[in-house]
Structure 1
Amino acid sequence: MAAVSERLSKARRIVVKIGSALLVDGKTGTLKASWLASLSEDLADARRLGQEIIIVSSGAIALGRRKLKLAPGAIRLEESQAAAAVGQIALAQAWSEALRKHDIVAAQILVTLNDTEERRRYLNARSTLAMLLAQGAVPVINENDTVATSEIRYGDNDRLAARVASMMSADCLVLLSDIDGLYTAPPGMPGAKIIPEIKEITPEIEAMAGKPVSGVGSGGMITKIEAGKIALAAGCNMVIASGHGLHPFRRIAEGETCTWFLSGANPLQSRKRWIAGTLVPMGRLHIDEGAALALSRGKSLLPAGVRRIEGSFARGDAVSIVSEAGIEIARGIVAYDKDDAALILGRKTSEIEKALGFRGRDEMVHRDDLVMTGGARV
């Protein structure tokens, strides 16, 4: 296990969640511009080290409710939605301006629960985020509070950030919070001690979680524990750290007091275990010997190597990949619906657009969405 000071600096892809109370002044309802500027500087430094950054930012409702002059305290769902509609513009502008000072392009993405739970939307969101990262942009994600309802909304961005970290196979999830970690008892109580490392979320760990304390955000330690469960299952380390004060991200890398949730696996291993052992194949792709050999060498499955398809599957479904001998050798998440897959099987990548009438993905199944399961030797 890497030393504490290296856990953040060695991560390849990092999701950073910022709570409302850190970004928005609870008394005035205005943006904490100097704090945002210091965090943006930290993230720009991380980018220069080659790290990919995804931001999950609260604050839209907190900013919007002031502009709409809504009363302090709890507000109705429809008031939250109206406040979010106003605040999302201000929040996106703030992030865009802060990152632009470091020559970084910001991209706003609004999501709902279904976008990370339903496989077709999941695949679309994942592809969009991957493209933004490949182009050097920093995605800024928030729950789409303008259309979310009490039945489908996350209700906090801790779990949203964990879902994003899982979806994007991130190495590390950073939860910047009001508090610097998980304590054995409420901070300030006699004998309360911070827990520096957690490798398993036990009932005892869950019992240490408390209630929301900021009055600005909707999360609390309970939601952070839930986020930890999601992150660890995805092979992603997670850290809860105080966001108060300037340069909070940098201070974590320098070893400031915090709580680390440590996963025993890496994101790619966890994702492939999920594909191999959890998803039920909805169809079969029969491939030729050349494609089977390519898969055994860690390559993606291209349409040219597919000879025949079976079953009824949609884009984002799991499929079984079968050798010429009729034996399953791999499973994966297919990038095309059955009808489109039938039109491009056996074709070269350069022929996909002509066959479909639009420019589809080069791979039938991308190598990151594919796991070898044994079967025939090739």
Structure 2
Amino acid sequence: MTRPEIVAAARRVVVKVGSGVLTGPQGLDKRRVELLSGQLARLRAAGRQVLLVSSGAIASGRAKVGLAALRSIPEKQAAAALGQAGLMQTYEDALEAHGLLAAQILLTAGDLRSRQRYLNARNTINTLLDWGVIPIVNENDTVAVDEIKLGDNDNLAAMLTNLLGASLMVNLTNVDGVLDADPRTNPQAKLIPVVERVDAALLKAASTQPGAVGRGGIFSKVKAADKVARCGACTIVANGMVDDILDRLFAGQELGTFFLARSHPLSSRKHWIAFTACQNQTGVIVVDQGAVAPISAGGKSLLAAGVSAVRGRFGPGAAVKVIGPDGRTIGVGLCNYSSADLEKIKGLRSVEIEHSLGHKDFDEVIHRDNLVVFGPDEKESVECLLSN
């Protein structure tokens, strides 16, 4: 399918809009919110279900109290609390003018790491979409200390694209798309119209510097697009400062940078294991060389006999990284044993586990159904995706 055909066929869409689009020195740009809301209404009228991931609460709150910068986590949390109410009220008023209802959903990484809470969120959002409501999602910055320091709404939007089974994510920023070099150091940098697959060269070219307002930056958007591609969906990174950008994109205009979906995507559950359950987790299992090939190429489960070392502290059911003796990340999986128990049984055959622990709940340390394996050619991109 061509890009216009893929966009036209999208029935469920995640739209993410950044602080750099929605806010300015005086706070929230109500005109921008109204323009965006009108375009969301037209997408909804065309039969599409749309979820909006909206930044802007912290920047809006900061402007309300007249601070040029926020210097501490408590200040950022307080600004988020102050700004979120006004942000939602502005959206509610703007969407109401088009006969639509808005629903506020505030999430943290912890909400999505828990499989039960993840499924609860999915059920709630699916119900809202079925009702014709526009769910508006933001990170719950008022309580999520780690998310303020490490997370961003690009990552949240990628997680939600998988959660909803959406076929397209549109990431609106304040630049025209992704360039092939940093324009601050290379004035010849050009827009990349299509990305078939995110690789180390593109990650290197993407800017790691966030804007003056938000936390994201182009680097974050490329990472998010890679995660979206791995769940079988496409991404467009485009300029949200263009007044009718969504109208133009869904009319078939090839603006911004278009990221293609992977031809062999992960299942929704395995995508959750790799890129949501593993968020901010520090547990690592080191396997010996003899376990690498069976796991990487043979589709086998990880057994205790193949474990050579355990790093970090974690409980049973935690998502952990699996690395080889050379330090390369082989995969991510849900571990059946706690780190304390795994220390006792590492290197043992499965028949020896019960004697060591006094019980044996599982033959496998990580069952293959709970293990996401990465290829050796993906080393740089995988390390980037799994970094906090």
Cα-to-partner distance string for 1:151-197 (whole Å, 9 max, x where unaligned): 78653111111111111111101100111111111237333111111
Q: Report matched runs for 1:250-329 at 5 Å.
A: 250-253=247-250, 254-265=252-263, 270-271=267-268
Instruction: Give, in angstroms, the shift of residue 5 of structure 1.
Output: 2.9
Q: Report matched runs for 1:353-364 at 5 Å.
A: none
Equivalence for 2:201: 204
Instruction: Using structure 1 for the length normalisation, give the TM-score.
Output: 0.68
Task: Quickly say closer, same or farther: Cα 1:121–1:255, change in 2 above 3 A.
Answer: same
Structure 2 contact 73–148 (Cα < 8 Å) conserved: no
Query: Please, which runs of 5 or more residues in structure 2 have no aligned partner?
Result: 276-316, 319-388
Equivalence for 1:28: 26
Determine the C-alpha separation between the residues in 1 that align with 2:75 and 2:256.
35
Q: What amino acid maps onto 1:34 in structure 2?
A: R
**Could you tell me which of 55, 60, 66 is aligned with 1:58?**
55
Instruction: Give, in angstroms, the shift of residue 69 of structure 1.
Output: 2.6
**Could you tell me which of 197, 219, 222 is aligned with 1:222?**
219
1:150 partner SS: helix
Structure 1 contact 143–154 (Cα < 8 Å) conserved: no
Structure 1 contact 15–56 (Cα < 8 Å) conserved: yes
Determine the C-alpha separation between the residues in 1 that align with 2:22 and 2:101.
20
Task: Quickly say closer, same or farther: Cα 1:204–1:247, change in 2 above 3 A.
Answer: same
Aligned-pair Cα RMSD in Å: 2.5
Determine the C-alpha separation between the residues in 1 that align with 2:6 and 2:143.
37
Determine the C-alpha separation between the residues in 1 that align with 2:163 and 2:72.
31
Determine the C-alpha separation between the residues in 2 that align with 1:181 and 1:257.
8
Determine the C-alpha separation between the residues in 2 that align with 1:61 and 1:274.
29
Cα-to-partner distance string for 1:255-292 (whole Å, 9 max, x where unaligned): 1431111013498x7327769999xxxxxxxxxxxxxx
**Could you tell me which of 97, 106, 123 is aligned with 1:101?**
97
1:263 partner SS: coil
Aligned residues: 275
Q: What amino acid maps onto 1:111 in structure 2?
A: L
1:96 partner SS: helix
1:257 partner SS: coil
Structure 1 contact 35–245 (Cα < 8 Å) conserved: no
Equivalence for 2:180: 184
1:130 partner SS: helix
Cα-to-partner distance string for 1:117-168 (whole Å, 9 max, x where unaligned): 2101101111110110111111000000010113786531111111111111
Q: What amino acid maps onto 1:215 in structure 2?
A: A
Cα-to-partner distance string for 1:277-316 (whole Å, 9 max, x where unaligned): 99xxxxxxxxxxxxxxxxxxxxxxxxxxxxxxxxxxxxx9
Task: Quickly say closer, same or farther: Cα 1:77–1:141, change in 2 above 3 A.
Answer: same
Q: Which moved more, 1:153-162 or 1:137-146?
A: 153-162
Q: Report matched runs for 1:141-160 at 5 Å.
A: 141-150=137-146, 155-160=151-156
Determine the C-alpha separation between the residues in 2 that align with 1:276 and 1:59.
29
**Could you tell me which of 237, 252, 273 is aligned with 2:234?**
237
Determine the C-alpha separation between the residues in 1 that align with 2:54 and 2:62.
16
Equivalence for 1:38: 35
Task: Quickly say closer, same or farther: Cα 1:149–1:235, change in 2 above 3 A.
Answer: same
Determine the C-alpha separation between the residues in 2 that align with 1:65 and 1:140.
21
Q: Report matched runs for 1:91-130 at 5 Å.
A: 91-130=87-126
Structure 2 contact 167–233 (Cα < 8 Å) conserved: yes
Structure 1 contact 73–215 (Cα < 8 Å) conserved: no
Determine the C-alpha separation between the residues in 2 that align with 1:277 and 1:143.
20
Determine the C-alpha separation between the residues in 2 that align with 1:48 and 1:107.
18
**Could you tell me which of 46, 59, 80 is aligned with 1:49?**
46
> Identity rate of aligned residues, in percent?
39
Instruction: Give, in angstroms, the shift of residue 217 of structure 1.
Output: 0.6
Determine the C-alpha separation between the residues in 2 that align with 1:211 and 1:275.
25
Structure 2 contact 230–262 (Cα < 8 Å) conserved: no
1:107 partner SS: strand
Task: Quickly say closer, same or farther: Cα 1:175–1:275, change in 2 above 3 A.
Answer: closer
